[in-house]
């Protein structure tokens, strides 16, 4: 759902950031801001700041930054629409009125939810009644406690063809509503409609708000056509978008930074009873892309549990194929393989929680399982077969959308290939390496066909940095030989004007320094300023020297021998200081990003020698040349 910017602004205006944050963080007022311990990282010294006037929070220890919506998303694992809806209700801001068509659709949803809730209550009552004795014995044999029965709202669907249908009719639900909800089967070729679920243990399936939207049923009749049966697709339920138990697992997953994925309802219940309340399951199918994104919203590296047999391995491989295009820095999958022939339910009941804990602790990263699959998929004794394996791996790498992740996978898998065939030289790259060596004297010569408007511009993921002013681009700050000079200039400006930290803390924290002492000096400035927002230049220098940072300060002063950058001086006007600092910072960021891009382009060309790699290399060189003057 899309929300008008005016609506979001009104919610922000009515709910100060400190009010929302203070429910989870103990805040203390400090000048114009509030300070407290980070909710994102364990710490003893407060580094978490909230500024109501500017409408954001910033955590110096973890780098997290955002507004009231982001805070709920980060601390409670909510989606953006969920955060907006909750805060809008709290602020008393009405969500815009729906169209008549949307209103009718919503009315239908409300009625269908009521049908399913009524069905759940009916199944719960049947489980507790005399007709549910066999279902109760089944749950007892499976080791399901009555507490779990209540928590998961388990029930029993009677064997009769119309028990639920007649019950729902007595409650006033129409035949159409029963059919649309998926609880009753009807159609032109069916003379008399009938209950979809009969003589089954029932497992309610809930949405993110805990509302029942579907059911799964486990047959008690050994001769049943389907051992497990799920609700069909309905206006409420699309099984590829839902995970069983996600609404209960999400808080625990966020608290532990871990989500466990198993294959079935009983596995979820068994692990939940053993203490892993952060457990979910797909609904009888392979993980979909939507389910992967649901998992990543709860934890960065979901643990997928599979049987160690061939079927379990195939399921893991399907999950890998679904995940590859969506991998991002810090976001992946890990795989926990159980002893062959076991599932989590069996393992916990037969060997105890400790056995399952060992399986989880030995979980294998995605890249290792991917390599295992490719390596075991054939026999690689000939050059042609080895070339085929390399081509397979190259094809897989091309499916990884994120450039940085793809590069790291390429290095990891190339290293494994080299370990597997240590006597095989990388002859296929010699031709391109020779070509590269011949081009070295002409690195600064950029062919005109790769100019700024070329078809390659903007295709290679170059960071979009603020462009520095023309005066700085023509100054001595430009060029690879002036890295230290730029860094010293930025630090000297901060030493003379520490108020810049209040406005640009996040950008300052992200500056990459070439020397550790300079990075340490920057960190100390941020830390001291975070504890005393009124700290001026004189007191800042005194406290830095007390921390034995005088040598780093001396390095800064010795490097800036010429006072040609007026904004860095102690008596410079505030507007000049801010403009000059921002310009110098933009120039430094751009130089650093281009340096990294050049290194990556050179490395890529040496590895594959492709026309695209060469074009990327030329484009980076052109950008550097344009900045150098």
Answer yes or no: is 616 within a domain.
Answer: yes
Find the CATH number of the domain harbouring 304: 3.40.1360.10
Q: What is the CATH number of the domain that holds 65?
A: 3.90.580.10
**Cα atoms in the 13 Å half-sphere on the side-chain side of 95:** 16
- Final residue before a domain boundary, out of 424, 441, 456: 424
Shared domain for 164 and 245, answered yes or no, is no
CB burial of 216-254 (b: ≥16 within 10 Å; e: otherwise) equals: bbbbbeeeeeeebbbbeebebbebeebbbbbbbbbebbb
Per-residue pLDDT, 620:
67
Q: Say if residue 85 is in the same domain as residue 107.
A: no
Phi, psi (rounded to 5 degrees) for 48: -105, 120
Residue 429 lies in a domain: no
Residue 529 is predicted with a pLDDT of 83
Residues 60 and 105 in one domain: no
Same domain (yes/no): 255, 385: yes
Asked if residue 80 and residue 119 are part of one domain, the reply reads no
The rounded Cα 620 to chain-centroid distance in angstroms is 30
Residue 562 lies in a domain: yes
Look at residue 251 and tell me if it is in a domain: yes
Among candidate residues 91, 113, 128, the one where a domain is terminated: 91
For residue 450, the model assigns a pLDDT of 30
Beta bridge partners of 157: 200
Residues 204/247, Cβ–Cβ less than 8 Å? no
Question: Could you tell me if 487 and 512 lie in one domain?
Answer: yes
Q: Which two tokens stand for residue 327?
A: 């991998």
Residue 220, φ and ψ in degrees, nearest 5: -95, -15
Domain co-membership, 230 together with 259: no
In a domain, 350, yes or no: yes
| 328 within domain boundaries | yes
> What is the dihedral angle through the alpha carbons of 176, 180, 186, 189, rounded to the nearest 10 degrees?
100
300 is a domain residue? yes
Within this chain, do residues 367 and 295 fall inside the same structural domain, yes or no? yes
Question: Are 118 and 43 contained in the same domain?
Answer: no
What is the residue range of 20's domain? 5-91
Strand ranges (DSSP E) for 247-402? 260-261, 279-280, 303-307, 334-338, 364-365
Q: Same domain for 255 and 284? A: yes
Residues pairing with 230 in the sheet: 216
Position 464 in a domain: no
Structure tokens at 619: 């484009």
pLDDT value at residue 617: 65
**506-514: long-range pairs with CB below 8 Å, 24+:** 506/58, 506/63, 506/65, 507/585, 509/60, 509/63, 510/63, 511/487, 511/585, 511/588, 511/589, 512/592, 513/487, 514/483, 514/484, 514/487
Specify the number of domains making up the chain. 4
Same domain, 553 and 618: yes
> What pLDDT, on the 0 to 100 scale, is given for residue 608?
61
Q: What is the model's pLDDT at position 627? A: 52
The pLDDT of residue 83 is 93
Low-confidence ranges of the chain (pLDDT < 70): 1-2, 98, 422-482, 561-564, 602, 604-611, 613-618, 620-629
Tell me the C-alpha distance between 159 and 153, whole Å: 19
How many angstroms separate the first and last alpha carbons of the chain?
A: 47
Site of tokens 């209960």: 248
E strand or H helix at 155: strand 155-157
CA angle in degrees (0–180, nearest 5) for 285-250-40: 130
Q: 473-481 — which CB contacts under 8 Å span 24+ positions?
A: 473/587, 473/627, 473/629, 474/629, 477/584, 477/587, 477/588, 478/587, 478/591, 478/627, 478/628, 478/629, 479/628, 480/591, 480/595
Whether residue 269 sits in one domain with residue 202: no
Per DSSP bridges, beta strands 260-261 and 303-307 are: parallel
CB-neighbour burial class of residue 405 (10 A; exposed 0-12, middle 13-18, buried 19+): buried
Final residue of a domain: which of 91, 116, 138?
A: 91
In whole angstroms, give the CA distance from residue 155 to residue 143.
Answer: 16
For residue 185, the SS3 value is: strand
């Amino acid at each position: 759902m899309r929300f008008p910017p005016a609506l979001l602004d009104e919610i922000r205006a009515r709910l100060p950031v400190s009010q929302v944050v203070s429910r989870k963080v103990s805040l203390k007022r400090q000048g114009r801001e509030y300070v407290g311990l980070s909710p994102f990282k364990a710490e003893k010294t407060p580094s978490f700041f909230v500024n109501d006037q500017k409408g954001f929070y910033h955590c110096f220890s973890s780098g997290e930054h955002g507004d009231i919506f982001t805070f709920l998303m980060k601390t409670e694992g909510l989606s953006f629409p969920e955060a907006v809806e909750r805060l809008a209700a709290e602020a008393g801001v009405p969500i815009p009125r729906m169209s008549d068509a949307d209103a009718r659709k919503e009315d239908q949803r409300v009625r269908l939810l009521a049908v399913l809730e009524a069905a759940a209550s009916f199944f719960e009552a049947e489980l507790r009644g005399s007709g549910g004795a066999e279902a109760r014995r089944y749950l007892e044999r499976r080791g399901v406690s009555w507490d779990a029965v209540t928590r998961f709202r388990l029930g029993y669907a009677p064997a009769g063809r119309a028990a639920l249908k007649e019950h729902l009719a007595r409650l006033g639900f129409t035949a159409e509503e029963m059919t649309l909800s998926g609880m009753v089967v009807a159609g032109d070729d069916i003379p008399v409609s009938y209950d979809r679920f009969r003589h089954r243990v029932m497992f309610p399936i809930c949405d993110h708000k805990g509302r029942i939207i579907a059911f799964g049923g486990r047959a008690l009749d050994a001769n049943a056509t389907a051992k497990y049966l799920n609700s069909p697709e309905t206006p409420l339920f699309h099984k590829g978008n839902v995970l069983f138990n996600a609404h209960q697992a999400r808080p625990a997953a966020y608290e532990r930074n871990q989500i466990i994925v198993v294959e079935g309802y009983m596995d979820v219940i068994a692990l939940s009873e053993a203490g892993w309340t952060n457990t979910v399951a797909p609904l009888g199918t392979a993980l979909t892309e939507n389910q992967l994104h649901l998992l990543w919203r709860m934890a960065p590296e979901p643990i997928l549990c599979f049987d160690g047999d061939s079927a379990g391995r195939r399921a893991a491989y399907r999950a890998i194929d679904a995940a590859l295009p969506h991998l991002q820095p810090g976001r992946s999958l890990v795989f926990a393989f159980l002893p062959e022939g076991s599932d989590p339910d069996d393992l916990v009941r037969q060997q105890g929680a400790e056995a399952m804990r060992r399986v989880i602790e030995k979980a294998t990263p995605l890249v290792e399982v991917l390599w295992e699959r490719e390596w075991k998929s054939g026999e690689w004794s000939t050059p042609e077969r080895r070339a085929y394996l390399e081509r397979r791996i190259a094809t897989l790498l091309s499916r990884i959308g994120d450039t940085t992740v793809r590069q790291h996978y390429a290095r990891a898998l190339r290293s494994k290939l080299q370990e597997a065939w240590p006597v095989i030289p990388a002859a296929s790259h010699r031709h391109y390496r020779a070509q590269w060596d011949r081009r070295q004297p002409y690195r600064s010569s950029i062919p005109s066909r790769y100019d700024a408007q070329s078809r390659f511009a903007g295709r290679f993921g170059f960071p979009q940095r603020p462009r520095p002013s023309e005066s700085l681009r023509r100054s001595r700050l430009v060029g690879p030989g002036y890295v230290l000079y730029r860094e010293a200039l930025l630090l000297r400006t901060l030493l003379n004007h520490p108020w810049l930290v209040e406005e640009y803390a996040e950008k300052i924290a992200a500056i990459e320094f070439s020397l550790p002492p300079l990075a340490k000096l920057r960190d100390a400035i941020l830390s001291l300023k975070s504890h005393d927002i009124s700290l001026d230049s004189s007191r800042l220098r005194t406290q830095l020297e007390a921390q034995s940072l005088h040598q780093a300060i001396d390095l800064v002063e010795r490097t800036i021998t010429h006072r040609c950058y007026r904004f860095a001086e102690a008596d410079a006007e505030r507007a000049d200081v801010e403009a000059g600092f921002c310009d110098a910072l933009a120039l430094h960021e751009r130089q650093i990003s281009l340096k990294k891009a050049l290194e990556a382009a050179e490395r890529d060309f040496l590895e594959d020698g492709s026309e695209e790699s060469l074009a990327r290399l030329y484009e980076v060189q052109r950008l550097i040349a344009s900045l150098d003057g």
